[in-house]
Amino acid sequence: MTLQFAIRHSLFAILIFVAAGCSYMSVPWSGAAAQPNATAEALYEDGINFFNNKRYALAIDRFQRIKTEFPFSPHVIDAELKLAESYYLNRQYPEAVAAFKEFQALHPTNEQIPFVLYHLGLAHFDQFTTTDREQKMTELAKGYFETVIKNHPNSPYTEKAREKLKQIILNLLSNAAKFTEQGEIKIAASRSDGKLNVAVSDTGIGIKKEALVHIFEEFQQAEKATSSRYGGTGLGLAIVKRLANLLGGDIGVESQEGKGSKFTITLPMTLKGKE
C-alpha cells in the first residue's frame, strides 16, 4: 500500500503542475537536441539563442559543431569567438583560455582582438578566488591587460580598466574600516606629473615596522592575532597590489603601530585611452 500511495501522490503532484501551467515542467531534452543534419546557419541560430538565454553548455555544443562540421562556413569565425565566450561565461576557464588563444592565432588582425585579449586576462584573473592560485596565472593576466592598454588604447576594453581602479579603492576602504574601531578614515586624490595619486588613510591599529615588508604578499596578515580577531585570508592587499600593477601603477604604505596607516596608489593618467 505504501508504494501505491507514493505513486498516487506523485501522479497527483504532476497533474497539479500541469494544471497550473508551470513553465518549468517541460521535458528536459525538449529543443536541446540539434538535428544530425542541421546546416551551419541552423546550428549558429541555435547557438545564439542558447547563448542569449544563458544556456552556455548547449551553446558550446552548437558552436563546436560548426567548427568541426563546417570549417569553411561564413559563420565559423563568429562561432569560434562565441565558443570561447561561452566557455568563459560558463566558468570553464582553461577551455576559454584555449579557445581565445586559438582565435588569436588564427585571426591575429581581426577587429575583435582587443576583446579576445581582455577576456584572456579575465579568464586568468577571475580564478583569483581559489586560495591555491599560482603566481603564474596572475602574471599571465597582467600581460594580457597591459597589452590591451598599450596596443589598443582606444578600444572599449581599455575603459574597463577604470573598473579595476574602483575595485582597488573599495578594497582599500574595506581594509581601512576593518582595522579602525575608533577614529576616522580619509580618502584623497591628486594629479601630478601625468599620474593619479589616491591615498586612503586611517587612525586604526597600525602595522608593526617588521610586518610592512610582507604586507602585500598573499596570505599575509600583520600578525596571527590580527587574523584571529578581524578575520580574512590575507588576500585583500595582495589583490590591490596586483590590480595596481595591472594598470601600470603601484601601491605604497606608511604606518605606525597604534596610530594608523596610509596607503597610496599611483596610476598613470593614460588609463583613459586619451591624449
DSSP letter for each residue of 89-121 = HTT-HHHHHHHHHHHHHH-TT-TTHHHHHHHHH
Task: Note the pLDDT of residue 34.
Answer: 64
For the chain, what is the mean pLDDT?
A: 75
Nine-digit cell at 226?
A: 590580527
Residue partners of 256: CB distance under 8 A and separation at least 6: 206
Q: What is the pLDDT of residues 173-223, one digit of tens each?
A: 666 676 666 778 788 888 888 788 888 888 877 888 888 877 877 645 444
Task: Note the pLDDT of residue 244.
Answer: 82
Task: Note the pLDDT of residue 185.
Answer: 78
User: Cell 601625468 maps to which residue?
Assistant: 194
Q: What phi, psi does 17 have (nearest 5°)?
A: -60, -45
The arithmetic mean of pLDDT across residues 237-255, rounded, is 82
Q: Name the range with the highest mean pLDDT among 62-66, 144-148, 152-156, 158-162.
A: 62-66
The arithmetic mean of pLDDT across residues 111-115, rounded, is 95
What pTM was estimated for this model as a whole?
0.54
The arithmetic mean of pLDDT across residues 127-135, rounded, is 49
